[in-house]
Amino acid sequence: MSTTPQTTSPRRPVVVVRLSNWIGDVVLMLPALVRLSRIADLRLVGRRWAPDLLAAYGWPCHVYPAKLKERVRLLRSLKQPGVPAHGLCVPTSFSSALEFRLAGLPAIGYAREGRSPLLKQALPLDHTIHMREHYLRLFQAMSLRLGGPDTPPQPDDATLRLTPAAHAQAQQALRNAGITNPYVVACPISSGGLENTARSWPHFPALVQQLAIRNIPVVTCPGPGEETALRAWSADVTCLPGLSVSAYAAVLAEARCVVSIDTGAGHMAASLGVPVISVLGATLAHRWGIQGPRVHTVCQWPQWPSHGAILELVTSVDSDGADSRPLKFPL
Q: Is residue 9 part of a domain?
A: no
Residue 150 has pLDDT above 50, yes or no: yes
Lowest-pLDDT range of 95-109, 211-225, 258-272, 307-321: 307-321
Handedness of CA 83, 2, 35, 70 (dihedral sign): negative
**How many structural domains does the chain have?**
2
CATH of residue 234's domain is 3.40.50.2000
Co-location of 64 and 191 in the same domain: no
Residue 199 phi, psi (nearest 5): -125, 20
- Residue 285, CA distances (Å) to 40, 127, 214, 321 in order: 32, 12, 31, 24
Q: What is the pLDDT of residues 86-142, one digit of tens each?
A: 999 999 999 999 999 999 999 999 999 999 999 999 999 998 999 899 999 999 999
Q: Residue 188 sits in which domain range? A: 164-328
Predicted confidence (pLDDT) per residue in 187-230, tens digit: 988 754 444 455 678 888 899 999 999 999 999 998 877 888 78
313, with CB counted inside 10 A (0-12, 13-18, 19+), is buried
Indicate if 258 and 134 belong to the same structural domain. Answer: no
Pairwise pLDDT comparison (41 vs 192), residue with the higher score: 41
Q: Does any domain span residue 275?
A: yes
65 within 8 A of 71, measured Cβ to Cβ: yes
User: Does residue 201 sit within a domain?
Assistant: yes
Residue 130 shares a structural domain with residue 185: no
Q: For position 323, what pLDDT does the model report? A: 47
* pLDDT over threshold 90, residue 301: no
Q: What mean pLDDT value characterizes the chain?
A: 87
Q: Is 155 contained in some domain? A: no
CA nearest to 248, candidates 267, 232, 235: 267
Instruction: Judge whether 168 and 254 are in contact, CB under 8 Å.
Output: no
pLDDT score at 194: 41
SS3 34: helix
Task: Mark whether 207 and 112 lie in a shared domain.
Answer: no
More confident residue, 317 or 191: 317
CA angle 3–6–8, rounded 5-degree value? 140
Select from 97, 113, 145 the last residue of a domain: 145
What is the per-residue pLDDT across 151-191, written as a single tens digit (0 to 9) for each? Answer: 777 888 999 999 999 999 999 999 999 998 899 999 988 75
Q: Per-residue pLDDT for 267 more than 50?
A: yes
Q: Within this chain, do residues 85 and 231 fall inside the same structural domain, yes or no?
A: no
Task: Say yes or no: 199 and 101 in one domain.
Answer: no
pLDDT band, residue 4 (cuts 50/70/90): very low
